[in-house]
Amino acid sequence: MRNHQPSVAVLVTLVVVLYLCGGTVESHKDQPLSGIAIHETTFHLNDKAHVKASPTLLGSNGQHSELVLVEFSSPHPSDEDWIGVFSPADFNVSTCPGDNKMVSPPRLSSAPIKFQYANFSNPRYNTTGTGSLKLQIINQRSDFSFALFSGGLLNPKLVAVSNKVAFENPNAPVYPRLALGKEWDEMTVTWTSGYGLKIAEPVVEWGVKGERKLSPAGTLTFARNTMCGAPARTVGWRDPGYIHTAFLKELWPNAKYTYRVGHRLSNDAFVWSKVYQFKSSPFPGQNSLQQVVIFGDMGKAEVDGTNEYNDFQRASLNTTKQLIKDLKKTDAVFHIGDICYANGYLSQWDQFTAQIEPIASTVPYMIASGNHERDWPDSGSFYQGLDSGGECGVPAETIFYVPAQNRAKFWYSSDYGMFRFCVADTEHDWREGTEQYKFIEQCLASVDRKTQPWLIFLAHRVLGYSSTSFYAEEGSFGEPMGRDSLQKLWQKYKVDIAIYGHAHNYERTCPVYQSVCTSDEKTNYKGTFNGTIHIVAGGAGAGLAEFSDLQPNWSLVRDYDYGFLKLTAVDYSNLLFEYKKSSDGSVHDSFKISRDYRDVLACAVDSCPATTLAS
């Protein structure tokens, strides 16, 4: 450690440990925090510099998000100075062990949970040396401190550290998220807290109007050693707290329920969240208006403008805003992979669940696995990339519930009224002969199309068709090997729509089979379909992806912009598809499907078994 100030002891709240951390991994560039070389920090603590944060006590009215005023000054200001938010406020050996015990230079070993440049709100900071920021802080089960750095992000020099700030109850139950259960009359509710089972029992109080039930919840967590690599098990690690899931069963169809999550303490007192409400699922096949929102690759962003090192996911706030605005006309949400782009910086999972809380606490928020949740070399993922930042699926599989038989194998089916959703896991092998292939066929084959006519296939990577430039350059116009095994299943079982993320844009195909359009219609489909419409909906928030110059014949509509999908099942015979802009919620593309059950039964190429003339 190079210490340029003799008075370091005045800021003893910051304790530094021995630590070795490699340089920034290229695949982590999507995560703004990866732009900070925090492991290269040196110490230039200065008595004439200061950082003050107020108020020091947050959440006194029960809220789990609050603005903190951070005031600071430096005797040697620079446009490269920045403020980092750290939680826990103290850094010590127990929270940040090193992988290599032989390394001698002490270095700061934990990344900030968010950051902003010191001149963000005062363009004259470089002259005056004073500035202030209003930063939104959410409850993340620990206290916070704010540090002033010089030297920019790649050569950080710690100049001053603030007082501590904390929530009144840092352990409080927060950020509930609903999910459909394994049975149609079941809803699950998952939340995060700082209460382990030795301290309190997790419970949910719930019921229809005039009724109150108390149901227990299971508790999970995960440790640093379950992470597969850096930064998740090094500078990006942060204790995830406890994840609780309760199963609310034997629900009445289409009924309104209220609930609150909480904990029973050892003295029999309860700690409760605020009261939320949800509408239970319709009976499978129930003929009622049903509206489902679908998108991929949203990510998260900060409303106070922090963390935006490369401005990669700002549009996620627009998508979130539009979903909240239309929440009364939404029954369920499917976020098909690349959830929050934490990429090994685990504090970001809390930030994401806080961002979507108004949505996920009200309607089921179903997720699929993407490369930024799962992929890591030699971890069992189909792809050997570094995209998860060492998470290898553990946070996503723990923080969100899905009705899979094994959450480490993130494929599942979900029924919602007249819809059957078959959700694939593209980060595990889907090819013919695999366990997942058998699941996909069983999911498609087992639905009763008389009562659930709308069969939807969901996956993260584009297993169907996309003219995004990186797919076009490979010559596959979709995930290599994607269509080879699966298109015969889509055709055989007459999948209506297949929807993907991964490519950060919007694209719609004609009804297509083996790269050939099976219909010339573009907006009003009637009768026999003869193919599957493939949709790319990966533009919910993360940085956009360019299309190829070549637009294939099967590509009807392309949009290089942010947006999301909405499917509305009007009845057994009519489905409305809409693609909406995240900027204002306007409908940019739409089509209708109108047909009867006999149209589903009708034969198309490769969709009917062989017949005989024998009588």
Asked whether 560 and 549 are in contact (CB, 8 A), the reply is no
Taking residue 577's Cβ as centre, other Cβ atoms within 10 Å add up to 21
Q: Are residues 162 and 180 located together in one domain of the fold? A: no
In 181-217, beta strands by DSSP E: 187-193, 200-207, 213-216
Q: Are residues 113 and 241 located together in one domain of the fold? A: no
Alpha-carbon distance 290 to 574, whole Å? 11
Asked whether 381 and 460 are in contact (CB, 8 A), the reply is no
Residue ending a domain, choose from 243, 272, 301: 272
Burial of 124 (0-12, 13-18, 19+ CB in 10 A): exposed
Taking residue 9's Cβ as centre, other Cβ atoms within 10 Å add up to 8
DSSP string, 356-401: THHHHTTS-EEEE--HHHH--TTTT-SS---TTTT-TTHHHHHHS-
Helix, coil or strand: residue 106: strand
Q: Are residues 241 and 370 located together in one domain of the fold? A: no
pLDDT tens, 180-227?
A: 999 999 999 999 999 999 999 999 999 998 899 999 999 999 999 999
Q: Are residues 572 and 547 located together in one domain of the fold? A: yes
Nearest to 504 by CA among 33, 114, 35, 30: 30
Q: Are residues 291 and 416 located together in one domain of the fold? A: yes
pLDDT of residue 14: 40
Buried b (16+ CB within 10 A) or exposed e, 50-74: bbebeeeebbeeeebebebebebbb
Q: Decide if 537 is inside a domain.
A: yes
The amino acid at residue 501 is: G
pLDDT of residue 9: 33
Asked whether 363 and 178 are in contact (CB, 8 A), the reply is yes
Residue ending a domain, choose from 272, 299, 329: 272
The sheet with strand 65-73 has its strands ordered as 50-54, 65-73, 130-138
pLDDT of residue 103: 39
The amino acid at residue 569 is: A
Alpha-carbon distance 201 to 268, whole Å? 10
Which CATH number fits the domain that encloses residue 230?
A: 2.60.40.380
Asked whether 105 and 174 are in contact (CB, 8 A), the reply is no
Q: Decide if 606 is inside a domain.
A: no
Residue 295 tokens, joined: 């998108």
Q: Are residues 382 and 481 located together in one domain of the fold? A: yes
pLDDT of residue 91: 58
Q: Decide if 411 is inside a domain.
A: yes
> Does 284 sit behind a cis peptide bond, omega within 30 degrees of 0 on the bond before it?
no
Nearest to 159 by CA among 235, 67, 262, 83: 83
Asked whether 121 and 132 are in contact (CB, 8 A), the reply is yes
Q: Are residues 328 and 211 located together in one domain of the fold? A: no
Q: Which domain holds residue 449?
A: 284-601
For the entire predicted model, the pTM comes to 0.93
Q: Decide if 121 is inside a domain.
A: yes
Alpha-carbon distance 465 to 472, whole Å? 10
Taking residue 274's Cβ as centre, other Cβ atoms within 10 Å add up to 12
Q: Decide if 2 is inside a domain.
A: no
pLDDT of residue 611: 63
Q: Are residues 202 and 324 located together in one domain of the fold? A: no
Q: Are residues 243 and 100 located together in one domain of the fold? A: no
pLDDT tens, 509-557?
A: 999 999 999 999 999 999 998 999 999 999 999 999 999 999 999 999 9
pLDDT of residue 612: 56
Q: Are residues 525 and 407 located together in one domain of the fold? A: yes
Asked whether 416 and 424 are in contact (CB, 8 A), the reply is no
Q: Degrees (nearest 5) of the Cα angle 261, 263, 268?
A: 135
Q: Decide if 1 is inside a domain.
A: no
Q: Are residues 62 and 36 located together in one domain of the fold? A: yes
Asked whether 425 and 410 are in contact (CB, 8 A), the reply is yes
Helix (H) or strand (E) segment spanning residue 499: strand 497-500
Residue 30 tokens, joined: 């999507």
Number of domains in the chain: 3
Residue 81 tokens, joined: 């100075």
pLDDT of residue 117: 94
Q: Decide if 614 is inside a domain.
A: no
Q: Are residues 315 and 408 located together in one domain of the fold? A: yes
Which residues of the chain register pLDDT less than 70? 1-30, 91-109, 308-312, 610-615
Alpha-carbon distance 456 to 426, whole Å? 16
Q: Decide if 320 is inside a domain.
A: yes
Which CATH number fits the domain that encloses residue 521?
A: 3.60.21.10
Asked whether 336 and 500 are in contact (CB, 8 A), the reply is yes
Residues 387, 388, 392, 396, CA torsion sign: negative
Q: Degrees (nearest 5) of the Cα angle 358, 361, 365?
A: 100
Strand 218-220, strand 242-248: pairing = antiparallel
Cα 304 to Cα 67, 119, 121, 136, 314: the distances in Å are 9, 14, 11, 6, 11
The sheet with strand 574-581 has its strands ordered as 365-368, 332-336, 290-295, 563-571, 574-581, 587-594, 524-526
pLDDT tens, 583-613?
A: 999 999 999 999 999 999 898 888 887 665 5
pLDDT of residue 399: 98
pLDDT of residue 34: 82
pLDDT of residue 564: 98
Residue ending a domain, choose from 134, 167, 200: 167
Alpha-carbon distance 337 to 368, whole Å? 5
Asked whether 564 and 504 are in contact (CB, 8 A), the reply is no
